Amino acid sequence: MTKKALPPSHFLNRELGLLEFNRRVLAQAADAAVPLLERLRFLTIVSSNLDEFFEIRVAGLKEQIKHGIKESGPDGHSPAEVFALVAAQARLLVAEQYRLLNEVLLPALAREGIVFRKRETWSDAQRAWVKDHFFRELLPVLTPIGLDPAHPFPRVLNKSLNFAIELEGRDAFGRKSRAAIVQAPRALPRVIRMPAEVAGAPHGFVFLSSIMHAHVDELFSGMEVKGCHQFRVTRNSDLFVDEEEIKNLRIAVQGELLHRHFGDAVRLELADNCSPASCEFLLQQFGLSETDLYRVAGPVNLYRLREVPDQVERADLKYAPFQPGLPDALARNRDIYAVLKASDVLLHHPYQSFDPVIEFIRTAVADARVIAIKQTVYRTGTDSELMEILIDAARLGKEVTVVVELMARFDEEVNINWAARLEEVGAHVIYGVVGHKTHAKMALVVRREDTPQGPALKRYAHLATGNYHPRTARLYTDFGLLTANEDTCADVNEVFKQLTGLGRASRLKHLWLSPFTLHRRVVSAVHNEVQLAREGKPARIIAKMNALLEPELIEELYAASQAGVQIDLIVRGVCALRPGIEGLSDNIRVRSIIGRFLEHTRVFYFRNDGADDVYLASADWMGRNFFRRIELAFPVLDAALKARIVREGLQAYLDDTAQTWIMNADGGYERTAARRGKRPVQEDLLHQLATASWTRAAKLAVELLPNAA
């Protein structure tokens, strides 16, 4: 029987929710309590987020409009309506970005001796230095392209820096062209450091675009440059692979990567001083309209400013460095197998080190008794120590199986390269299941051990909410579980068997696996809380994730709220559920935490009549995660570790006032007022886990567990 759909007014729009999330990130750049260079970094993060937003989300809307698709989403808006709303909101967000840069951050940086010298303020010495730099570093690699019948408009790479040049006069061949394009090679830095003695400040910078504007006439000898305007085009970057026709997924993805740089244009960023004629000309060349045009008061790619904080040695203007902690059990005993036989180990990144995960695999390679290593790879980085360790394992003759997700967006090329290297040394490389991204994060080690009954195989597993990426493990919050639990390890082995072989899905004892059981199990857990509430018992759900969009589950949460279940949702990014609506979602509260670290943990807590069920997961509550991906949710069975997760991963966030944004029913957010003397939740966890012992943290967790109910 088909359930009655909720009215569209009960759902918020995904694209607008993503822009709302970026407003919260941008607020970090405006926050005087955040170290100054970190504020600049947050500004660049918004630019990076918006790039992907246009490359994927806006590109998808434009594709639907082009093909005449008018079907609305759960919120009731058609693609054309969403695009119009997005364009208006994105324009406001970009305008605020540049206002913050020009009116707040650049003046504040200048007061700290970090200056960006503009052309109109250059001294004679600075002008001479810029000229010398242009002739030494830029001129030899620049290729001006005059536009005439023999030189059509060039192919412009996605997100590359370019200059539209307006000209007068004739060149050496007597050609009279009024326009040219100069493309800035990607190898050139967009922000160039000046010597302190030239800059007149301890840290002086000049934009590549400023140098180009000052000396672009050197590229067009004998002609008059009437205008020089920087621009950048964003293109559709979603890869299309016909999964029904392909015979080799790796070759198909490699072929598609070449097209990503030249997909259909979706956005044109242009200097705000560009002439109307050049503006109209560029829009025509890219097949765009005024709605797709973003005029900006500064560099067209603010993301390139991310290089500045790393070049400025001012510890007082950055977040304080920290040393991730180690669980006491691993600090006392280097034999990881002995530790895991005694108890599971929980790691809370980045507050606790990612090194035990690396050592888990490294130890397996060096141990002659280990005969097999299996691991999934979604994102791991270009210089991954873990991947090098797996390559060494295969060289040493270990049975190494790696499930590599080739369709991990924007990491496809990196993953293809790792897959090729692993195959070269004899590892079994599997590309997951066509049509379902492998997003689960798991590793399995099989070891031959002595038992009273004789030699036997023993399995050890690592399961996580985040990727096997040591760099992001210092930037993202995630949980990882190391375990020797026989049932859990058997489940992990079964999932690997399903990924690498053929056959029907088997019943798992502990793990919830999408696309088979994860959605059904989560819905069932919600139903259980509803039943408990109807029986007059305390009923409670706390869930932390990156996004909440799946309509059926939202409907179930509304029903649970109406039954009296108390629900707290900690959703970092986009949430389509409307909280706090009388008669619909009175008992649902939604908050978002934005801070130094990217909140990435997925934790699901169900009170379950005092059983306090806690699941960690790789999946957000989105349709793609439930139905089109291989995802895992795994229970934490150890009572002390379960209590830690509730305290560190849930209750601490519900208690926070310094980094919290509360969502209202119309999709807007209001920041909570920080209580005097109350540390932000991320800083507090750093204090507990990076400097205090795990024993103390676990003790506190056990004490606070009842408060979650």
DSSP 565-596: -EEEEEESS-B-B--S-TTTTTTEEEEEE-SS
Which CATH superfamily does the domain covering 328-500 fall into?
Answer: Endonuclease Chain A (3.30.870.10)
Task: Using DSSP, state whether 228 is helix, strand or coil.
Answer: strand
pLDDT band at 703, cuts 50/70/90?
Answer: very low
Average pLDDT, the chain: 90
pLDDT tens digits along 137-188: 999 999 998 887 667 888 899 999 999 999 988 766 666 668 899 999 988 9
Task: Using DSSP, state whether 136 is helix, strand or coil.
Answer: helix
Task: Using DSSP, state whether 163 is helix, strand or coil.
Answer: strand
Would you identify the CATH topology of the domain 512-708? Endonuclease; Chain A (3.30.870)
Give yes or no for residue 458 having a pLDDT over 60. Answer: yes
Per-residue model confidence (pLDDT) at position 696: 42
Determine whether 342 is exposed, middle or buried from the number of CB atoms within 10 Å of its CB (0-12, 13-18, 19+): exposed
Task: Using DSSP, state whether 501 is helix, strand or coil.
Answer: coil
Instruction: Tell the residue number behind the tokens 């991947």, with chain if given.
Output: 387
Exposure letters 254-278 (e unless 16+ CB within 10 A, then b): eebeeebeebebbbbbbbeebeeeb
E strand or H helix that includes residue 613: strand 613-617
Per-residue model confidence (pLDDT) at position 454: 83
Q: In the chain, helix, strand, coil percent, each to 5? A: 45, 25, 35
CA distance to 554, 569, 573, 631, per residue, from 548 (Å): 8, 9, 8, 15
The answer to whether 94 touches 294, Cβ cutoff 8 Å, is yes
Give yes or no for residue 301 having a pLDDT over 60. Answer: yes
The two domains 116-245+260-315 and 512-708 share their CATH topology (first three levels equal): no
pTM exceeds 0.85 for this model? yes
Spans of all domains in the chain = 13-112, 116-245+260-315, 328-500, 512-708
DSSP secondary structure string for all residues of 639-661:
HHHHHHHIIIIIIHHHH--SSEE
How do strand 441-451 and strand 370-377 relate by DSSP bridges? Answer: antiparallel
For the question of residue 439 being annotated catalytic, the response is yes
Q: Which of the residue ranges 33-37, 148-152, 615-619 would you say has the lowest mean pLDDT?
A: 148-152
Distance CA 397, CA 384 (A): 21
Would you identify the CATH topology of the domain 13-112? Methane Monooxygenase Hydroxylase; Chain G, domain 1 (1.20.58)
Per-residue model confidence (pLDDT) at position 170: 72
Given the residues 229, 439, 469, 600, select the one marked as catalytic. 439
Report the percent of the chain where pLDDT is more than 90.
77
Distance CA 86, CA 17 (A): 10
Q: Which of the residue ranges 305-319, 395-409, 445-459, 554-568 would you say has the lowest mean pLDDT?
A: 395-409
Would you identify the CATH topology of the domain 116-245+260-315? polyphosphate kinase like (3.30.1840)
E strand or H helix that includes residue 322: none
Give yes or no for residue 69 having a pLDDT over 70. Answer: yes
